[in-house]
Structure 1
Amino acid sequence: MAVEKLQGDYTAQYLLLRDYAQELLRTNPGSTVKLEVESEPNSNSETRQFKRIYICFGGVKQGFKQGGREILVLDGCFMKGPYPRQILTAIGVDANNGIYPVAYAVVESENTNSWLWFLEYLGDDLDIHANSNFTFISDRHKGLIPAINRLFPVVEHRYCLRHIHENMKSQWRGDLYKDMLWKCASATTVPFFNKYMDEIKEKDVGLYNWLQQIPPKHWTKSYFSGRAKCDVLLNNLCECFNKQLVRGRDKPIITCLEYIREYMMRRIGVVSRMLDKCDGPLTPGATITLNQIKQDASQLNVVYAGQNKYEVSGEGHNQCVLDMNTKSCTCRKWELTGMPCKHAVAVNWDMVRYGMEVDIPKAWVDEVYWLDNWKKVY
């Protein structure tokens, strides 16, 4: 009785869902709340049974569009209690490479139909259309893949490498196979990807043939585009968010939804207080990453090759060509992440050494990592 008084009644809260949805819309202008019901098994009944609810807050929606990072991680987790269901989530990446919860829904189960329903509303909220150049990351759920292919046929759909590895472990266990898989996935150019795949082929033809069945555009950086300015291989952003919801997933429906909303609100407050203490052109995470890149760049040699191109070499006689006309490098890391690679930083220093007018390396960082952009999002 005490627990019911504190958390609410599992059955009674379904009767209050319409009022709850209206209150969310009243207190959060610009939000989207969709409630779907279905007929009861008894055809003579005048009531309807809850099926799904989708929520995307107006402020969060605007913040995601301000961020300029067109990437979302999709995942689902179980909702416990006497009426078990699934919570579907869409998580973005902010300028500090932190999680940015965008939308969530409670559905009957994780299947193609529920994912279609969720993604249709998500696409409408974020202006993602059938011909949009967007990026999704998922765990290859059998209901999600056909839903994405149907609604967004031209998007870049990355598969979480951890889930690929989990499937792989049923036949190929051990750190050796895991490291070989990660080398292939982390390769940023096709020649290196092919080289590492050949190493797998020499070690185990069966694993090579198994990996060949998964199109490389879904799991290796060498085939990723640079549209998202993010080269992540895992959907751990969603898993991090789902972990925060553990204590709310066994609560009655409205109590659970409020648990999610309050977590998102608290997180925005934490980031806002962090922003007040930040100083500099880049976010704290981007600054740390760039400082590490600078350390790596100090060991490189630069030779001007003419036509605004530079040859950069380092240990092992590995050479890359950096084109200042297009601000691109043959290692592809600059294009993939929006963060200058070590070759770009080395060229920057070489240009300064010869008296050329050039911005500091921080100015070559894509604006998705700028502190001002982070502030706009929140």
Structure 2
Amino acid sequence: MDDPVDMEHDACKGLETEVGSVFPQAKNKECMRHLYQNFLKKYSGEVFTNHLYPIARSYTQVLFQWHMKKFFEFAPEAIEYLEEHHNRIWYRCAFSENNKCDYLTNNVLESFNAQIKKFKCLLLHELVDRIRELIMEKRYTTKMLARQWTDGILPNVMKELNLISNNLKVVKVSVSDVDIAEVTILDEWNNQKRQTVDL
């Protein structure tokens, strides 16, 4: 196995041990939803609810450290708690670039388990065949939906892009290739910032 495989799970210690023995190079990610629930049992306050998910969503070390600093200023022991009890990967800036999945939760796995729950009593070859049928049906449904899209971009992605770009003050867009441009924007203090956008 050349590239490490990322595995997401919550507190299943047995699963963690077994995955580690079968896939020794796998990167273990922690489900952010479970981390969030556990963390808020111990720490509460606006600083945590305002910064914990942004920490996890941060793609850059700079943004990650800025949000972590807010934690540290308010409660330094919260950082120690995270390092001790949630030491697997749970924030995006630590994800490997080899992995093309940036999910923070294990919702995909839970959704899959919910779909195959009723088939778990089947013999192994019957279970695998039923999963094959489910995948076939899901791919067909997805293909039919994709034929209705005119933009070539998922509707939810378009909606999110429109939401986050509505308040941007774009000064200039300099195109350097078919899918690459340098975008100059004004931040909230009217300073110009440049960002490379690679579609």
Unpaired segments ≥5 residues, structure 2: 175-180
Contact 1:311 1:319 in 2 (8 A): yes
Matched, 1:171 2:32: no
Letter in structure 2 aligned against 1:253? L
Higher relative contact order (CA 8 A, sep 6+): 1
For 1:314, the equivalent position in structure 2 comes to 187
Unpaired segments ≥5 residues, structure 1: 1-128, 323-328, 330-343, 345-363, 366-378
For 2:177, the equivalent position in structure 1 comes to none
Give 3-state SS (helix, strand or coil) of 1:277's partner. Answer: coil
Matched, 1:300 2:155: no
1: CA distance, partners of 2:191 / 2:113: 41
**Taking structure 1 as reference, are residues 173 and 253 closer, same or farther at Cα in structure 2, changes over 3 Å only?**
farther
2: CA distance, partners of 1:316 / 1:136: 41
For 1:138, the equivalent position in structure 2 comes to 9
Given candidates 220, 223, 241, the residue that maps to 2:94 is: 223
Matched, 1:232 2:110: no
Letter in structure 2 aligned against 1:212? E
Q: Deviations over 1:55-114 (max 9, x none)?
A: xxxxxxxxxxxxxxxxxxxxxxxxxxxxxxxxxxxxxxxxxxxxxxxxxxxxxxxxxxxx
For 2:68, the equivalent position in structure 1 comes to 197
Q: State the identity as a percent.
A: 24
2: CA distance, partners of 1:176 / 1:218: 22
Give 3-state SS (helix, strand or coil) of 2:8's partner. Answer: strand
Q: Of the two, which has the highest radius of gyration?
A: 1
Q: Deviations over 1:239-258 (max 9, x none)?
A: 22223345x16x73249836
Given candidates 13, 30, 42, the residue that maps to 1:159 is: 30
Q: RMSD of aligned C-alpha atoms? A: 3.6
1: CA distance, partners of 2:190 / 2:19: 43
Given candidates 186, 190, 195, the residue that maps to 2:57 is: 186
Contact 1:300 1:314 in 2 (8 A): no
How big is the shift at 1:153? 4.6
**Taking structure 1 as reference, are residues 143 and 303 closer, same or farther at Cα in structure 2, changes over 3 Å only?**
same
2: CA distance, partners of 1:192 / 1:139: 25
Contact 2:173 2:184 in 1 (8 A): yes
How big is the shift at 1:234? 0.9
Give 3-state SS (helix, strand or coil) of 2:97's partner. Answer: coil
**Taking structure 1 as reference, are residues 204 and 240 closer, same or farther at Cα in structure 2, changes over 3 Å only?**
same
Q: Which protein is richer in helix relative to its size?
A: 2
Contact 1:133 1:156 in 2 (8 A): yes
Matched, 1:252 2:112: no
For 2:144, the equivalent position in structure 1 comes to 273
**Taking structure 1 as reference, are residues 174 and 309 closer, same or farther at Cα in structure 2, changes over 3 Å only?**
closer
Letter in structure 1 aligned against 2:77? G
Give 3-state SS (helix, strand or coil) of 1:136's partner. Answer: strand
For 2:178, the equivalent position in structure 1 comes to none
Given candidates 235, 242, 245, the residue that maps to 2:113 is: 242
Letter in structure 2 aligned against 1:300? V
How big is the shift at 1:233? 0.9
